[in-house]
Chains A and B, each alone.
Chain A
């Protein structure tokens, strides 16, 4: 089977499942940013603007919204690359069934990555639309925040998939969420500048793909990022994505090959 065909079958499988739940999923992708931007951006933002005249020279809503898009993609990846993947590996044995056809392990991995990219694209695009309705990011360049956020999510998707490939049960997933995803979400530069963290935590934050993804998305929406900075902030998530892909591939090959 050609390279594309096998991958597309895996994507198609996921799309067929998604067809059953897409209404709920789209509603969540719309209401979550709506609630968050209204509460944190406008409500809490009014306190921040009164107290410090905004953040980094812009109103708090403008600071918060683009960062939250990248964070939303991270959260989507953390869900999509854990429970559903482990279910297909061992609970429902979907991969065993797929591998009994001409689909290869490499197809499975490519297909899952393409599918997660589509899911995160939906999340980021919905978020961007809500942000636009709140009056932030009215420039053509600001649309680039969508691919920047998807790239951030992909960095988490492949690395998490590699972790999932090593699991025998789901107890590690709650730990990943509580000890990695939530701390990054709350302290990784989305809600307040990383410069406000203690120095040791600042270094740690800048070693993660989220901090760079947030900086990139924010710079593109606010239109105040130079090409060199943008490149650096894109390269870090890209490196995580590539490294994660290599590990996920090796680990899944090892686990699924009979």
Chain B
């Protein structure tokens, strides 16, 4: 097949992504301590902000319920950590492989296609995020911050979905990056998401027009989903969150595949 027809061919459903995942598992085998230590950050935030500062904060009202401050903050930290893990894996690490290690140039010489590679990177980022989520839910349960065991189990699945959406978004954005300095923009964008998405205080402190704006941002929807599950306020609005994240993730994978094709199939 000529390059032009390969580029123009419709996107294939990725069926060989797991080979890409296997490659990443092998590459990280000797560096597992880096992965493990990522687990500590959200736990420290939970202790410092949730309990330390939380001792100065009264119970918080969220969606009609009143919960302790630690119970309010913990699900937000879980969603944020799923986002951060997925974004860093899919931007910095992915960029290095794309730009310097030329990993994908090697990969597509095999029967693994560009779609498999893009999807494989997303799946790997999701697996890594999942490990953190399970650890964090165990801590939350031990500290009595989860209303029902089902909520805890479902929140892990929700964290997987959040990881998928942000990893896909991250891979898509990275295909547009030219240099390392562009990553500062990612950091600069993540910071307000982290601080203003009803992470540390309910959005009712904002004026109404700002509330509407925050409500359509991805981390807000993620936090809303996990908070609903762990505090036991399960209703139809959580389906909106799920739909939002699924669409975001699929759009990310599609953009990433198209861009990677253009870059790799020469």
User: In the bound complex, what is the Cα–Cα distance between A35 and B53 (angstroms)?
Assistant: 18
User: A196 to B57, Cβ gap below 8 A?
Assistant: no
User: In the bound complex, what is the Cα–Cα distance between A191 and B48 (angstroms)?
Assistant: 8
Q: A48-56, A136-144, A158-166, A232-240: which one contacts chain B?
A: A48-56
Q: Is the interface of A mostly helix, strand, loop or mixed?
A: helix
Contacts of B188 in A (CB 8 A): 27-28, 31
Contact of B195 among A28, A39, A171, A174 (CB under 8 A): A39
Contacts of A187 in B (CB 8 A): 44, 47-48, 52
- Which of A47, A50, A182, A196 has the most chain B CB atoms inside 10 A of its CB? A47
| Contact flag A192-B53 (CB < 8 Å), given A39-B196, A39-B200 | yes
Report B180-215 residues with CB < 8 Å from chain A CB.
Answer: 181, 184, 187-188, 191-192, 195-196, 199-201, 205
Contact of B205 among A28, A43, A197 (CB under 8 A): A43
Size category of the A interface is 20 to 34
Contacts of A28 in B (CB 8 A): 184, 187-188
In the complex, whether B247 has a CB less than 8 A from a CB of chain A is no
Contacts of A171 in B (CB 8 A): 31, 33-34
In the complex, whether A24 has a CB less than 8 A from a CB of chain B is yes
Contacts of B31 in A (CB 8 A): 171
Contacts of B52 in A (CB 8 A): 186-187, 191-192, 196-197
User: In the bound complex, what is the Cα–Cα distance between A39 and B80 (angstroms)?
Assistant: 15
Residue of A nearest to B195 (CB): A39
CB distance from B219 to the nearest CB of A (A): 13
User: A174 to B34, Cβ gap below 8 A?
Assistant: yes
| Contact flag A24-B47 (CB < 8 Å), given A39-B195, A39-B196 | no
User: In the bound complex, what is the Cα–Cα distance between A44 and B195 (angstroms)?
Assistant: 10
Chain B residues in contact with chain A, CB under 8 A? Answer: 31, 33-34, 37-38, 40-41, 44-45, 47-49, 52-53, 55-58, 60, 69, 181, 184, 187-188, 191-192, 195-196, 199-201, 205
Q: List 14 A-B contacts (CB under 8 A).
A: A35-B196, A39-B199, A39-B200, A43-B200, A43-B201, A47-B60, A55-B56, A174-B34, A175-B33, A182-B40, A186-B52, A187-B47, A192-B52, A197-B52
